[in-house]
Amino acid sequence: MAYFRAHIEMLDGYVPGEQPSERDVVKLNTNENPYPPSPRVLEAVHSITGEQLRRYPHPMGQAFRQAAADVLGVRPEMVICGNGMDDLLNMVVRAFSGPEARLVYPSPTYTLYAVLAAIEASLVTEVAFGPEYELPFDDLVAADGRVTFLCNPNSPSGTFVPVERVAELARKVRGVLVVDEAYVDFADENCMRLASELPNVLVLRTLSKGYSLAGMRFGYGVGSPELIEGLVKVKDSYNVDAISIAAATAAMRDQEYARGNWERVRSERERLTGELTGLGFSVLPSQSNFLLASIADPTAESLYESLKARKILVRYFKQPRLDGSLRITVGTPKENDALLAALRELV
């Protein structure tokens, strides 16, 4: 007897990157920040009281909302918190798509969009990015989604669509434009101002990457109060917990610390790009904390396996258009050196 609804029975769930239990692995496969979070985050976590845990948290994560509003120059009513950005993506898909409403996005991109859409049995149009990951502007507009997703910088390419172009897209589409800015802290510019300027733009961010809090699970969205009110209707009542609210608030208020790490990652990104290019890889220009590096010989798959045998994990996607590439997270200088030393022997 089949217990699940037919479309869930058929569904291939999302496959997260490997999280090895050994500690001596050079882990460059899931785009975590290689540096620890701000010391203020740990202080905030340590000062949580039993009384705070006894009670439910603020349903909207008010302390974080205020901190984000202060840092970003928006009103608190324009901010919604999530248990990681994945929680917000889930809310968005539940709120805007479905069997009668189309979700549109350029691909290849973050594979969770397709999985969330499939869970909702949503109509979906995937539009291929151009050869150098140029935005397929006209086809995205023509697809006429109730909601359009744009991952910017995109994963797994690391490429960036200029803000003005995103603004044009938002003005052209009839539905909501969701800009996934998971990696934007490592980029030169970002689309945050569009969330205030245009009523159909929702900008989503995470503390997993820029603030070194992937283990904490905290993300947020910024958009017009009308968009935020709609999303609140579909969120879990207490979707962010007292500990993560305190940690994320402390991280957000310590911009100076976070910025220092973004700069370190950006500078290693440039070094790694140069070194990989010198080894014969072709590397897309990246505005994120990872690189998509392609190579024909040896194959990307065999390189992935050989690196893994040496306890260096990178990401390999066995799917059309990506199966000739490795996605490599920018690590600490020492981790990047270990990767480069291995590749010098293997390539």
Ligand X SMILES: Cc1ncc(COP(=O)(O)O)c(C=O)c1O
Chain positions contacting ligand X, by CB under 6 A: 31, 84-86, 110, 151, 155, 180, 182, 206, 208, 214, 219
Minimum gap (Å) between residue 341 Cβ and ligand X: 27
Compare residues 116 and 140 and give the one whose CB is closer to ligand X: 116
Q: Least separation, in Å, of the C-beta of 55 and ligand X?
A: 25
Angle 274-213-216 from CA coordinates, rounded to 5°: 150
Q: What is the CA radius of gyration of the chain?
A: 20
Q: Which among 146, 82, 135, 89 is positioned nearest to 112, based on CA atoms?
A: 89
Report DSSP letters for 257-299, one per residue.
Answer: HHHHHHHHHHHHHHHHHHHHHHTT-EE---SSSEEEEE-TTTT
**Rounded least distance, CB 212 to ligand X, Å:** 12
Which CB atom, from 90 or from 336, has the smaller least distance to ligand X? 90
Closest chain position to ligand X (CB): 84
Question: What sign does the dihedral 232-101-136-173 (CA atoms) show?
Answer: negative
- Other C-beta atoms within 10 Å of 122: how many? 23
CA distance 293 to 281: 6
Nearer to ligand X, 80 or 151 (CB): 151
d(CA 238, CA 234): 12
How buried is 217 (Cβ within 10 angstroms: 0-12 exposed, 13-18 middle, 19+ buried)?
A: buried
Burial string for 289-327 (b: 16+ CB within 10 Å, else e) reads bbbbbebeeeebeebbebbbeeebbbbbbeeeebeebbb
Nearest to ligand X of 176, 182 (CB atom): 182
Q: State the residue for tokens 């540096």.
A: 35
Q: Which residue, 110 or 304, is less far from ligand X as judged by CB?
A: 110
Q: How far apart (Å, rounded) are the C-alpha atoms in residues 134 and 84?
A: 28
Instruction: Return the number of the residue (141 or 213) whose C-beta is nearest ligand X.
Output: 213
Q: Smallest distance from the beta carbon of 113 to ligand X, in angstroms?
A: 9
Tell the smallest beta-carbon distance from residue 200 to ligand X (Å): 20
| Contact by Cβ (8 Å): 35, 212 | yes
Backbone phi, psi, residue 222, to 5°: -130, 130
In the complex with ligand X, which residue's Cβ is closer, 82 or 145? 82
To the nearest whole angstrom, how small is the minimum distance from the Cβ of residue 279 to ligand X?
Answer: 26
- Report in angstroms how near the CB of residue 182 gets to ligand X at its nearest: 4
Choice between 182 and 231, CB closer to ligand X: 182
CB of 296 to ligand X, least distance (A): 26
